[in-house]
Amino acid sequence: MVKVRGDGLIKRMFLNYQIRKYVRKLFYYLARDVGIRERYKIRRIDQIIKRYGFNKRYSYIAYAMFLDEKNYNKAKNYQGFVEDRDDVINLVAQRYFDSNPKFTKKDLFRVSVFKDWNCIFNGDLSVIDYAAYNLWKNHSSGGESISGSVGGELTP
């Protein structure tokens, strides 16, 4: 079980708020700014956390969702947090995915606060790729640059 840093109702409420924020918003920003990947790099996750004002103290939530076990442990050793990856995944799964710790990126899209990403997936990731491409294309036409792209081959 994920240990609440400190004790008390306020600390647990703040942890729940951070979990909700990370689960419902972070993947959208990662997909938009970096592209949809199987796994992300620690520095990319850190860039998104900083850019969009996520609380860095709870970055282990993002690392658990988007890093494999090896890289999660690397981040854990480097940044000094104590939370076990499986405990974090189980807590997220319990709150958002009917206790299924094998939730997917499609599941993350479904709980996203950004409703333009919520669509019917028909069992394949091509819909996600198409949605990411449209978002990337619309974002790029605004004159801002995006580091990375969906599939690595898109150019405006």
Instruction: With H, G, I as helix, E, B as strand and everything else as coil, classify residue 13.
Output: helix
17-21, 60-64, 120-124, 148-152: the lowest-pLDDT one: 148-152
pLDDT tier for residue 145 given thresholds of 50, 70 and 90: very low
Cα separation, 116 vs 12, in Å, equals 31
User: CA nearest 24: which of 133, 123, 118?
Assistant: 118
Dump the DSSP string for 56-78: GGGHHHHHHHHS-HHHHHHHHHH
Q: What is the pTM of this model?
A: 0.70
Q: What is the mean pLDDT of residues 63-75?
A: 93
Structure tokens at 24: 């419902």
Q: How far lies 18's CA from each of 67, 83, 93, 113, 151, in Å?
A: 18, 14, 14, 14, 30
User: CA nearest 128: which of 59, 20, 30, 22?
Assistant: 30
Task: Tell whether the model's pLDDT for residue 107 goes beyond 60.
Answer: yes
Cα separation, 16 vs 14, in Å, equals 5
7-11, 13-17, 118-122, 136-140: the lowest-pLDDT one: 118-122
